[in-house]
Amino acid sequence: MISIIGAGIGGLSLALALEKLNIDYQVFEKTNSIKTVGAGIWLAPNALQILEWLGILESIQSNGNSINRITIATHDLKPLSDSCQQFIKDKFGYCTIAIHRAKLQEILLQNIPNEKIKLGKSLRTFEKLTDDTIKITFEDTSQIETNYLIGADGIHSKVRKQLFPTNIIRYSGQTCWRGVADIEIEDRFKHQGIEMWGNQIRFGISRIASKKTYWFAVITSKSNSNSIFLDVKKYLIDMFSPFHPIVGKLILNTDECNIIKGDINDIQPLKYWYKDNICLIGDAAHCATPDLGQGGAQAIEDAYYLSHLIAQESEISNAYPKFQKKRRKKVNTIVTQSRSIEKIAHLKYGKRLRNLILKNIPKSMSAKKMIELYQIEKNN
């Protein structure tokens, strides 16, 4: 039996993939319900191709919003780079979809039998009993025995911490607020993903559904995920007052209870994502900063490749090294590039030169990189 720890994007995608391939599994999730984590999420075409294979693309498309144009702009919305995504649609059949995270998780969940997901089960420790038996102890002191363990338990993964205790979580120097405004944005912005870059702060926008607009606000700051703001909306509106008026309007029209704050971190790349019959996927294995909008997509890619490799092997743990070999190069490139973008976006000096370079990057060059990023091996 395969036991998956964590019912986030990676864990649920893996569950659905194993379900489709008729491989037995069970999922253990620490929360008592699959919560409404986060605000919006972009699902790039690499993720969408896999969601199509999983049979849920139509639901994703009908519950989300297609992003047909991606724009990086100055604080007052003057484009620095503006990419019409028609070439992506021509190549893959669809553009990136922006959707509420809760909707994405709900759709994944609807397609997995209830009895396969055990809620309120927070892994505390695991122990190898024999070569092919692992004992898992949960926080409620209950225990189970399993043959294979897959840690899909996110950036703060307990599976990773026990397997590789020296691994380091790296604070990026940036902290972020995310929200969903209950307003319809102007028609011209409806299918546009926008990120506005100011003076070491930035603001992103994309519509995720009718009268729902996802936004994120990122600032350079000391790690302060525990700071409490008495009036977070006022704080953000003041901070972003030099920006285009749409920014203040979105913050003002967001329910304060639904504004989520968190430091932006990644993890130092691991040498191995597995040991014996235990393997890590998603953020537990290779968390990147969100600057390329690829963390969730990479967790979905992990689910796709790992499930297929497992299906091909008579001994499941033989799939793990093959999985890491297949995935490592792409994932490490994303971790490195995300960190660079984040630094470029928040440059203290040299912004003029940066903007000039951005404006003059040949469209064909960025188009080629996007196509490479979104490519999935179909014959896996």
Ligand X SMILES: Cc1cc2nc3c(=O)[nH]c(=O)nc-3n(C[C@H](O)[C@H](O)[C@H](O)COP(=O)(O)OP(=O)(O)OC[C@H]3O[C@@H](n4cnc5c(N)ncnc54)[C@H](O)[C@@H]3O)c2cc1C
Q: What's the rounded Cα separation, in Å, for the pair 293 and 10?
A: 15
Collapsing DSSP to helix, strand or coil, 69 comes out as strand
Q: Which is nearer to ligand X, 169 or 355 (CB)?
A: 169
The closest alpha carbon to 124, from 81, 176, 74, 161, belongs to 161
**Partners of 135 in the beta sheet?**
127, 145
Collapsing DSSP to helix, strand or coil, 105 comes out as helix
DSSP 186: P
For 135, left (φ over 0), alpha (ψ -120 to 50), or beta? beta
What's the min distance (Å) between Cβ of 297 and ligand X? 4
What's the min distance (Å) between Cβ of 315 and ligand X? 25
What's the min distance (Å) between Cβ of 260 and ligand X? 8
What's the min distance (Å) between Cβ of 3 and ligand X? 10
Q: Which is nearer to ligand X, 246 or 335 (CB)?
A: 335
Q: Which is nearer to ligand X, 63 or 122 (CB)?
A: 122
CA dist list (Å): 146 to 1, 5, 134, 229, 234: 6, 12, 5, 44, 50
CA angle 154, 107, 113 (to 5 degrees): 85
Q: Which is nearer to ligand X, 294 or 317 (CB)?
A: 294
Q: Which is nearer to ligand X, 355 or 375 (CB)?
A: 375
What's the min distance (Å) between Cβ of 352 and ligand X? 28
Using Cβ positions, the residue closest to ligand X within the complex turns out to be 8
Q: Which is nearer to ligand X, 152 or 270 (CB)?
A: 152
Binding residues for ligand X, per CB under 6 A? 5-11, 28-31, 41-42, 122-123, 152-154, 158, 176, 178, 216, 262, 282-284, 290, 293-297, 299
What's the min distance (Å) between Cβ of 16 and ligand X? 12
